[in-house]
Amino acid sequence: MRVLGIETTCDETAVAVVASRIGGDGGDILSNEVMSQIAQHAAYGGVVPEIAARAHIDVLERLIVRALDAAGTDIAGVDAIAASAGPGLIGGILVGLTAAKALALAADKPFIAVNHLEAHALTGRLTERLDFPYLALLVSGGHTQLVAVLGVGDYKRLGSTVDDAAGEAFDKVAKMLGLPYPGGPHIERLAEEGDPARFDFPRPMFGREGADFSLSGLKTAVRQEIARIGTPTERDVADLAASFQAAIVDVLVDRVRSGLRIFTQSGGQPNGLVIGGGVGANGAIRRALTRLCAETGLRFVSPPPGLCSDNGAVVAWAGLERFARGMTDDLTFAARPRWPL
């Protein structure tokens, strides 16, 4: 079974073809074309919705052709067509969703509307064999949540951020430090040279009941420290980056630990922890979660960074998981810019 997946909810235009493996042992990525618009948004310090929607229109058709070619097939050779229908920026979603519906109609193929967060949550099952239930930590520029993944289409949100998303915190702090957008990778690189213990930033929600996150207080603390310093030197910037990242890492680990407790208290035993979303590319976070899992005997499923950030393969895979269970959608399915998992 092969599914074509289209992703246009934010600033990556992406198309992929994914095939299922016999026996339920994950999937094969036959092609995975991603075109990032970062360069077009960088000057504005964030994603500009109107620019994003237009840029998706400019490249989507080319990417679909490329993804089919690279997979050695044409549209007749795929079994279904999936697209992210939200959550995200409405203009971009409409581009990918409309293209997917048009293709499905013209080629007479089933259409599947995928929740973008569901695609991140199911990624662990694309890369390896992973049975339900499991825990997923979704950390991106727009979302930060901990989800119990009980089955395809069966998700229980254990906690989410009450203010900023993790990627948003990385990006805002990076901006304060004069680093380019998106700031996450720059902070990570600088943090390697900095002293994580120099600034004792707050760890909001640490030790709190439940699995909610809060990151805006941390961001404010960094802002106040920068104001106190005045003009930070290179050394200061590296230490600020390292101390900020150390605080985020501690918070994420604590929240996952608490989420695990909730999971087991409600009678479930997770088969693993999956990380998804762009922030999941962060090495310090991955190492800390690896340690936590080793300590708690939980399997850590960390998809390669390219499958954590936005891409078509995870959308195609989520589409395939749904399609395999007969979960197809009508062409009237509307874009859902807000679509909680």
Which span sits near ligand KG4 by CB under 6 A: 68-76, 92-100, 128-136, 182-190?
182-190
Binding to ligand KG4 by residue 170, rule CB under 6 A? yes
318 CB contacts (<8 Å, ≥6 apart)?
Answer: 5, 82, 114, 115, 118, 119, 122
Measured from the CB of residue 282, what is the shortest distance to Zn ion in angstroms? 14
Among residues 209, 116, 219, which one has the least CA distance to residue 163? 219
- Cα 333 to chain centroid distance, Å, stands at 23
Binding to ligand KG4 by residue 239, rule CB under 6 A? no
d(CA 327, CA 302) in angstroms, rounded, equals 27
Residues between 295 and 324 that touch ligand KG4 (CB under 6 A): 309-310
Binding to ligand KG4 by residue 167, rule CB under 6 A? yes
Q: Which is nearer to ligand KG4, 128 or 192 (CB)?
A: 192
What does 303 interact with, of ligand KG4, Zn ion, none (CB < 5 to 8 A by kind)? none
Q: Which residue in the set 27, 124, 182, 319 belongs to the binding site for ligand KG4 (CB under 6 A)?
A: 182
Binding to ligand KG4 by residue 171, rule CB under 6 A? yes
Is 236 annotated for ligand binding? no
Among residues 115, 70, 24, which one has the least CA distance to residue 314? 115
Binding to Zn ion by residue 310, rule CB under 5 A? yes
Binding to Zn ion by residue 140, rule CB under 5 A? yes
**C-alpha neighbours within 13 Å on the C-beta side of residue 142:** 18
> What's the Cα-to-Cα distance from 61 to each of 99, 110, 132, 222, rounded to whole Å?
8, 19, 35, 43
8 Å CB contact between 168 and 141: yes
Q: How many residues bind Zn ion (CB under 5 A)?
A: 2
What does 31 interact with, of Zn ion, ligand KG4, none (CB < 5 to 8 A by kind)? none
Q: Which is nearer to ligand KG4, 181 or 323 (CB)?
A: 181
8 Å CB contact between 244 and 171: no
**Core vs surface per residue 147-185: b (16+ CB within 10 A) or e:** bbbeebeebeebbbbebbbbbbbbbbbbebbebebbbbb
Residues that bind ligand KG4 (CB under 6 A): 10, 140-142, 167, 170-171, 182-185, 188, 277-279, 281-282, 309-310
Give residues in contact with Zn ion (CB under 5 A).
Answer: 140, 310
Numbered residues of the known binding site for substrate: 138-142, 171, 184, 188, 282
